Amino acid sequence: MSDLATIQQWMQNALLGPYDAEAGTAREMFTASRRLTAEQRFHIYHRGYRLRLLNCMRGLHPGMLHLLARELFDRFALDYLDAHPSRSPSLARLDDGFADHLERTRPDAGAPEEWVDLLVDLARFERLFTDVLDAPEDDPAPRPFRARSSVHDYLAAVRRGEDPPLPEPHPTSVLLTREEGRVVVRPEWVPHVGPFGRPKGI
């Protein structure tokens, strides 16, 4: 690899992918020093960039981070980042596909477990929370969210600095809006459907 564009492309792919996949090629791209091999010098760049991405994921998902603790959260986050390397100059939407990835790679495949449902729903809610918080000023429309438990209450408690218990499974429907720079969550009214498929009272 001699031209600058090729070297830059390799560096981008190497930083975004797993370390082991590119460590060997690092000998061609980096020189060794008196104290570090070429692979070790490359690893400094790789580890630093991955840590930046992890810190971003932690910031986007404080509820999941609290629920799983840092070590387990980082394992889920890195598995996602390996499968979906960042392709945007902005990290604001780094977790766009996180919930879908968790759903596709569920560790309880074949025998669904409630704690995995909680993880997936919490990841979706935290992404939507950020979307509503960052929405343009001229986009006041409420965003509906439905989950298998009250993950919104769990996240609110975590944001208050509490250590809440895990929410019990219970279908939940809420609406998210932004008011005076804050995300407000309200129950969504879902009409009770009568025996003939028409909402009662209509």
Instruction: Please compute the mean of the pLDDT values over residues 190-200 and round it to a whole number.
Output: 47
Task: Check residue 31 and give its pLDDT.
Answer: 72
Out of 2-16, 68-82, 133-147, which region has the weakest mean confidence (pLDDT)? Answer: 2-16
Q: Which residues partner with 176 through β-bridges? A: 143, 185
What do you get for the CA distance between the two ends of the chain, in Å? 70
Instruction: Please compute the mean of the pLDDT values over residues 9-22 and round it to a whole number.
Output: 65
The percent of residues above 70 in pLDDT, for the chain, comes to 85
The yes-or-no verdict on residue 202 having pLDDT over 60 is no
Task: Check residue 105 and give its pLDDT.
Answer: 94
Kindly indicate the confidence band of residue 15, based on its pLDDT and cuts at 50, 70 and 90. Answer: confident
**Phi/psi at 75 (5° precision):** -65, -45
**What are the residue boundaries of the structural domains of the chain, listed by start?**
1-59
Count the alpha carbons within 13 Å of 61 in the hemisphere toward its beta carbon: 30
- Mean pLDDT over each residue of the chain, to the nearest integer: 84
Kindly indicate the confidence band of residue 126, based on its pLDDT and cuts at 50, 70 and 90. Answer: very high
> What Å distances lie between residue 72 and 26, 35, 119, 195, CA to CA?
29, 33, 12, 46
Rounded to an integer, what distance in angstroms lies between the CA atom of residue 200 and that of residue 132?
Answer: 32
Count the alpha carbons within 13 Å of 35 in the hemisphere toward its beta carbon: 0
Kindly indicate the confidence band of residue 35, based on its pLDDT and cuts at 50, 70 and 90. Answer: confident
> What Å distances lie between residue 128 and 4, 43, 60, 97, 144, CA to CA?
40, 34, 10, 12, 9
Instruction: Please compute the mean of the pLDDT values over residues 132-136 and round it to a whole number.
Output: 90
Rounded to an integer, what distance in angstroms lies between the CA atom of residue 99 and that of residue 107?
Answer: 13
**DSSP letter string, 73-112:** HHHHHHHHHHHS---SS--TTTTTTHHHHHHHT-TTTTS-
Q: Quick: pLDDT tens for 135-172.
A: 888 777 899 999 999 999 999 999 999 999 999 999 99
Instruction: Please compute the mean of the pLDDT values over residues 22-33 and round it to a whole number.
Output: 66
The yes-or-no verdict on residue 95 having pLDDT over 70 is yes
**Phi/psi at 54 (5° precision):** -65, -45
Q: How many CB atoms lie within 10 A of CB 115?
A: 11
Q: Quick: pLDDT tens for 53-75.
A: 999 999 999 999 999 999 999 99
**31 versus 143: which is more confidently predicted?**
143
Please give the structure tokens belonging to residue 47.
Answer: 């580890």
Q: How many CB atoms lie within 10 A of CB 92?
A: 12
Task: Check residue 115 and give its pLDDT.
Answer: 92
Out of 28-37, 80-89, 98-107, 173-182, which region has the weakest mean confidence (pLDDT)? Answer: 28-37
